[in-house]
Homo-oligomer: A and B are copies of this chain.
Amino acid sequence: MAATMQDVAQLAGVSVKTVSNVVNDYPYVRTETRERVMSAIADLGYQINASARNLRRGRTGMIGLALPMLSLPYFAELAESVITAAEERGLVVIIEQTGSDRRRELDALHGARRAMTDGLIYSPLALGAEDEELLPTSSPLVLLGERIFSDRVDHVTMRNVEAAKAATEYLLGIGRRRIAVVGVHPGEVVGSAGLRLQGYEEALAEAGIERDPALYGAVGPWGRANGAQAIGTMLDAGTVPDAVFGLNDTLALGAMHEMQVRGLRVPEDVAVIGFDDIEEAQYSTPTLSSAHFDRDEVARTALQLLEARFAARVPPEPRRVATEFRIVERGSTG
């Protein structure tokens, strides 16, 4: 059996309270006492029982991270950042994969898993603005992205519109005029797809270029296969763009792949830019230009927002923090 505080206390000849004081770095412990306790801890290989501590404290030391799936590189990289940032704060992360399924996204919000964590970092894909009222407001929650907005919840946003606009402007700046956009979710306004498309359209409008529906590649999930398929359909229909804006990097990479297979040269015939700047963007052929966000910063900010709620007696005002971005120029845009 594992040693308990009782065992340590007995061996050190002190009370459990004193052991607890030592374990929790309570300052008013005599050095000599502390040392006796420490050595007893070492002797017994004592490790604190997290369940007991959590039960007593009313906290679990764990936070949830709900995301579509880890095999999407963007989310794997986000998870990496969140886990690292959480570890710095002594928190443990439980990842819940929602598969961008509406029911499972709701479950992450309210289900049993939610009860075993102190807070939730939430990156929804299926829920939308109409679900705002379903967001729990009593328990700490940070929303990532701009899919849902609520005045009652903390947000870390991505400046989707501005970054997409900047990406499109970059393509315009290198002389491209027939810019396809891949990954469109028709009718969507508030999600990443809707917002990034809005940025694209604003850039074109300001450049005085007319909107051409033939250049819109609509797809479902944002994977490479759909990026390839969207541009394939477009090319089959006889529409040949001189640039492609992928609403995320995997779409852009898929589209780039499909065009190369069909003999188009990137960037000579078609320039390509993505969004998110996943690691893979640095290693594709050619390397992929992209709108870059600092995921570590997103993770740290989200954790700060959560912890502000853990600590507070009165819940703080919900905050909305926007993450900075920059356009990274690589081979796919020449």
A84 beta carbon closer than 8 Å to chain B: yes
Partner of A80, one of B54, B71, B80, B116: B71
Asked whether A172 is an interface residue with its Cβ less than 8 Å from the other chain, the reply is: no
Residue interface bits A157-193, CB-to-B below 8 A is 1, else 0 = 0000000000000000000000000000000000000
Interface members, chain A 36-54 (any B CB < 8 Å): 47-52, 54
Distance from A3 Cβ to chain B, minimum over Cβ atoms (Å): 11
Task: Tell me how many residues of A have a C-beta within 8 Å of chain B.
Answer: 47
| A112 surroundings in chain B (CB, below 8 A) | 47-48
Q: Per-residue CB proximity of A13-56 to B under 8 Å, as 1/0?
A: 00000000000000000000000000000000001111110110
- Say whether B279 contacts A71, CB under 8 Å: yes
**Bound form: Cα–Cα A114–B92 in Å:** 12
Q: Which of A141-149, A252-260, A302-310, A321-329 is the interface stretch? A: A252-260
Whether a CB of chain B sits under 8 angstroms from the CB of A299 is no
Q: Are A51 and B51 in contact (CB under 8 A)?
A: yes
From B48, B76, B113, A71 is in contact (CB under 8 Å) with: B76
Q: Which residue on B lies nearest to A61, using beta carbons?
A: B116
* A52–B50 touching, CB < 8 Å: no
Of the candidates B54, B84, B257, B285, the one whose C-beta lies within 8 Å of that of A97 is: B84
Give the chain B neighbours of A280 by CB distance below 8 A.
224, 280
Q: Which of B2, B257, B282 is the one whose CB lies under 8 Å from A285?
A: B257
A228 sits at the interface (CB 8 A): yes
Interface residues of A in 244-303 (CB under 8 A from B): 253-254, 256-257, 260-261, 279-280, 282-285
Is there a chain B Cβ closer than 8 Å to A94's Cβ? yes
Nearest B residue to A224 via CB reads B283
* A contacts, CB < 8 Å to B: 2, 47-52, 54-55, 60, 62, 69-71, 73, 76-77, 79-80, 83-84, 87, 92-95, 97, 112-116, 224-225, 228, 253-254, 256-257, 260-261, 279-280, 282-285
